[in-house]
Structures are given as C-alpha cells and as structure tokens.
Structure 1
Amino acid sequence: MLVYRGYSQTAPSPTALTIGNFDGVHLGHRALLARLRTIAARENLLPAALTFEPHPREFFSPETAPARLSTLREKLELIAEDGVALAYVCRFNAHFAALSAEEFIERILVGSLRVKHLIVGDDFRFGAGRRGNFSLLREAGERYGFQVEAIDGVTVEGERASSSAVRNALAEGRLDGATHLLGRHYSIDGRVVHGDKMGRQLGFATANIRIKHDKPPLLGVFVAEVLGLSDKPLQGVANLGFRPSAAQVARPLLEVHLFDFSADIYGHHINVRFLHKLRNEMKFPNLDALKVQIAADVAEGKAYFKHRGTEARR
C-alpha cells in the first residue's frame, strides 16, 4: 500500500475513496472497505482511504479523548489487508481543522485525491464546525463529477459496530464482545525491549513490549497469543498495566510470558493477541505472593488453551 503524509501529493490515478478515523478497523469499517474494493474493481479506480492523525478528539480535547484502539501503523496495516492500495494520512491540526467543508472537497477530495466515487458512513461529517454532510457531498459530486454513496452501520448481535462499543467491551473485560465487533481478536503491536528482568527472577521470564498506547483500552492479565516469532502463534499470558507489585511504571507496560519458550527475541516486532481476561492487576504484599499468583495465571492460561484444543477436535 502506498502511503502519503498530508495532501500535497496528487493521487497517481483516479480513486474510489472512503474517509474515516478507522480506529480499530471494526466490522463497520470493514463493510466500507469491502464496498470500496467492489466499486474500485468495477469502475477501474484506485481503492484509497483518507484518515487522520491524531484522532480529531485528541486534538480538540486531549485530556478527555478516548483510549486509542490502534496506532497509526496498526491501522494502516489493517486497512491494507482489506484491499486499500493508497492511504492519505492528514495531520489533524489547527490549520486542517479550520478548512471549510467546501475547501476540503475542492482541495483535498478533488484536487489531491482525484476522487471519482466516494463512500462514507451514514453519520459522516467534515469541515470546520462539522458543517459538511452527505447532501453537500452529493451537490459537490454533481459539480465536480464524482459519485457519492453512504453505507449504513453494521449491527452485530443487536449492537452497532463502533469504536466506542469496542472500547467499552475491552474496558469491561468482555473480550468475546470486542471480538464479535472487530471480526478478530483485539491485538497490540510493539517491539521487544529490555526490562528489569523481574519476571526472570520470579521464574517466569517475560517479553517486554514497547507500546505507543499512552492510554490503552484494556488493562489486566490475559490469556494471549503472540504472532511474529514463529510460523504459528505462540501461547502465553500477558500483563498490561502499571506493575503495582514491582517497580511501578508511569506509562503502561505490556509483558508477555510465553509457555515453553526461551529464545532471544530482543528487537523483534511482535503482535500480541488478547484472547481471554483472567483478572485485574493487583498489588501483592511481597514478591513471593506475586510469584504464587503468576503460577496460578500460567496454569489457568494453559488450561484455557487445552480446553480450546479439545473443543476444536470435537
């Protein structure tokens, strides 16, 4: 996938375009992207997406902005998997926020992205003061020569698939609910870095993953799988949080203990897939009590995978 930062570069060919934050790339987003692939193939257009960094709510109200489900890298990887060939990442700053809806259409959609078919969600708003809407896009399409269509939201088991719904499910520990809304297990990418080796001292060595989520959407201890180290997922348990029983950290830290694994993986970029929540983080009176709890977490994690394997063989 070709990625342009900003909108100064002109698209190499006319595009079928969708626009959004795509945080988490849930089933609602994927319905947009599926329609985009269909239209692009039918009309011989380049399938393209326009997204923003940071999230507009992080720009306007950083203190109250919601937890980010995906980093920019994760988001781009996911939309590329869904068939997007060209992505424009517009920096959401004061200048961009001040663009009128008409300027957004003329300068970005028509001038830079060469849009011929635009697909948006049914609640899409744009431009300064969010004054742009579907009616304005249709009028502009008639003037500039592009088609516009809106896609209805996707409902999963009676719940609308949205980034907010996914955040709520993760925060409440309902990983199955988040999986249904995402169409996949929630995961976080990151690079393995050196830690304080506390896990090794306790007899449960961990991979410490540097993450960019300052405010992750979930915290606690989880059954997890790790991708990127083998041709198949590796099983383990993960702790995402602030380590209240050890050397407490200011930023959330992701630590994963992999079962029956001892290779040197420092520097590897891996993907941690969260399968099931075991418990919240707890503060223990001493390291011996922490060690006992970690052993119990590992045993419960192994039991989870054994049960899953048994179910799969039935």
Structure 2
Amino acid sequence: MKIQNNIRSIAIGSFDGMHVAHMKVVEAVDAIVVIERNGGYLTPGYKRSLYTDKMCCFYFFDTIKSLSPEDFVEKLNEDFPRLERIVVGYDFAFGKNKAGSATTLRELFDKEVVIVDEICLEGIPVHSRTIKAYLREGNIYMANKLLGRHYSIKGRVIPGQGLGKKALVPTLNLKVEHYQLPLEGVYATQTKIGSSWYHSVSFLGHRVSTDGSFAVETHIIDKDIGMVEGEIILEFRALIRKNRKFDTLDMLKGQIEKDIERATALLNESSSG
C-alpha cells in the first residue's frame, strides 16, 4: 500500500555533499528525491537530512537503474500523485544507461520542469566530484568553500593499538564507513563527543611508522575526556602535513607535539576570526 502525500514539487539528484549548488536546486521545492548509490560519500544516507529542512525521499539506484526514462517518470507520478514541478540540475541524467537528460525529463513530464544552470564559485564549478578531488589532495580549504560548511565524518570509537596512550599521545580510534576520506595525513579538526565540541588534531592513513595498518584517530587537545563510547564526529579545518614515516617513536612523538601546536594555533585563529 502506497503512502499518499501532498508533495507538489521535488528536486531530484544524488545530493551527495549537500553543497552550495545543491542548496540552490532545493531552495524552492517541497521535498528532495535522493538517488542513493553505494560508497565514497560526502554525506551518506540520511545524513543529507541534517543539512536541509526539506523532506528527503530515497530511491536506491539498484532498484531503479533498469527503468527506462518513461518508466522513471511514471514512477514519479505514482509516488507523488500531486506533483506539479520538478527541479533538476543542468547535467541531470536518468533512466537505464543514462538514456534520459534534463531536456528529456521536460519532454516526458507534462507539468513544469525547472533546469538549474551550472553554479560556480570564483570560477570553479561546484560539483561533488570536484569537492572529492579537493579532499583527496588535502585541500580542505577549497572543499569546505564549495560545500559551504566544514567537511565532517562520523565514526564509531573502537580499540586502538594501545601505543598512543603509552608512548605517544592518547587518541580515540574510529571505524569510519562509506565516507570519502581526505588525503592521508594530519589535520586540525574539531571533534564532537555527545553534544560538546573540542579542539583536536586528527590522523588518517596508514601507520607507516608503527604497525602499517590503516587508522582514523583523533587526539583531544588539552582535555582529559575519559572513556568514550559510541559515535563521534570529526570536522576538518586544515591539513597540517601529509602522512610520512619516522624512524623512531621519539621522532614521531616530537612531530606529534609540533602537530598539536600547529593545530592549536590554527583552531584558535579560526575561533577568533
């Protein structure tokens, strides 16, 4: 049995990142239809709803990828019986093998279709793929600029290798899934535990100076937060340095102390700016 709704206008797309261009697309609709794929997200799943007050409706790609453009539009009409307006980006593609375009949608849907032109910031087209590319090269400043917010990931606290607290600095180790991770390295971050935010310095990448395993870990600066369980959020502010190997633990510890000093300066500057 289908749930009846009174939604009259929708925006359709992947909306991965909920970046500044997405906000333009969704500003004048009742609901967002998210085409959900798998992996490498800026904002996985329901987390898109954290950045908008619009209702989010999900179509899982695997369940609709075989539909022809005509069948897809028929599905929209069935799922949104009062639909009067659809808003899409200029590069919207839909239907099996991406056979349909934004222009095709305008031809098939018998009411209003609004096609939003490409949106640029300082001459740079705003796309999720562009933001991901900036993240992969560690350019947090530009990724955040195109997002219109600080890039963040959520992870579950897990046991670490036990070396940090004993020989280096204590860290919270995280299991992070589905997100696009930035370049391997050390970052000035904000960490949210419960309802509180803390200045932090975070590492993600392979522990090339110790056991070689991949890790995402964060050190809370100048705070003893005790035992932490469940999920926490990391918010990326700036890249401090790329990941590299140190010959001894003493050399690594010395560099971590410098990283903490650098992160503290950057975060204090950001807080006062």
Settle same-fold status: TM greater than 0.5. Answer: yes
**2:18 matched to which residue of 1?**
25
For residues 49 and 214 of structure 1, the distance between their equivalents in structure 2, rounded to whole angstroms, comes to 21
Per-residue deviation, 1:34? 1.5
Deviating more after overlay: 272-281 vs 195-204:
195-204
**1:202 matched to which residue of 2?**
167
Per-residue deviation, 1:174? 1.7
- Superposed CA deviations along residues 41-78 of structure 1, whole A, max 9, x for unmatched, are xxxxxx222223325xx7xxxxxxxx432322433433
Contact (CA 8 Å) 1:126, 1:132: kept in 2 or not? yes
Contact (CA 8 Å) 1:49, 1:84: kept in 2 or not? yes
- Superposed CA deviations along residues 161-207 of structure 1, whole A, max 9, x for unmatched, are 11121112222222111111010111111222222222111241111
Contact (CA 8 Å) 1:33, 1:83: kept in 2 or not? no
- Superposed CA deviations along residues 261-301 of structure 1, whole A, max 9, x for unmatched, are 22235323222111010111111112222111111111111
Counterpart residue identity of residue 244, structure 1: V
Give matches, 1:258-269, under 5 Å: 258-269=220-231
Contact (CA 8 Å) 1:223, 1:278: kept in 2 or not? yes
1:117 equivalent in alignment to 2:79: no
1:257 equivalent in alignment to 2:227: no
SS of 2:27's partner is: helix
1:275 equivalent in alignment to 2:220: no
Contact (CA 8 Å) 2:132, 2:180: kept in 1 or not? no
**2:48 matched to which residue of 1?**
75
Deviating more after overlay: 196-205 vs 26-35:
196-205
**1:53 matched to which residue of 2?**
36
Per-residue deviation, 1:12? 2.5
Per-residue deviation, 1:230? 4.2
**Aligned sequence identity (%):** 29
Flag the 1:261–1:169 CA change in 2: closer, same or farther, 3 A: same
Higher strand proportion (structure 1 or 2): 2
Structure 2 gaps of 5+ residues are none
Flag the 1:9–1:195 CA change in 2: closer, same or farther, 3 A: farther
For residues 112 and 198 of structure 1, the distance between their equivalents in structure 2, rounded to whole angstroms, comes to 54
Counterpart residue identity of residue 79, structure 2: S
Aligned equivalent of 2:54, options 71, 84, 90: 84
**1:41 matched to which residue of 2?**
none
For residues 84 and 307 of structure 1, the distance between their equivalents in structure 2, rounded to whole angstroms, comes to 34
How many residue pairs align between the two structures?
272
Counterpart residue identity of residue 87, structure 2: I
Give matches, 1:169-184, under 5 Å: 169-184=134-149
Per-residue deviation, 1:20? 0.9
TM normalised by structure 1 equals: 0.80
For residues 138 and 306 of structure 1, the distance between their equivalents in structure 2, rounded to whole angstroms, comes to 50
Contact (CA 8 Å) 1:74, 1:189: kept in 2 or not? no
TM normalised by structure 2 equals: 0.91
RMSD between superposed Cα atoms in Å = 2.1
Contact (CA 8 Å) 1:242, 1:253: kept in 2 or not? yes
For residues 75 and 217 of structure 1, the distance between their equivalents in structure 2, rounded to whole angstroms, comes to 19
**2:205 matched to which residue of 1?**
241
Per-residue deviation, 1:33? 1.7
SS of 2:181's partner is: coil
1:296 equivalent in alignment to 2:263: no
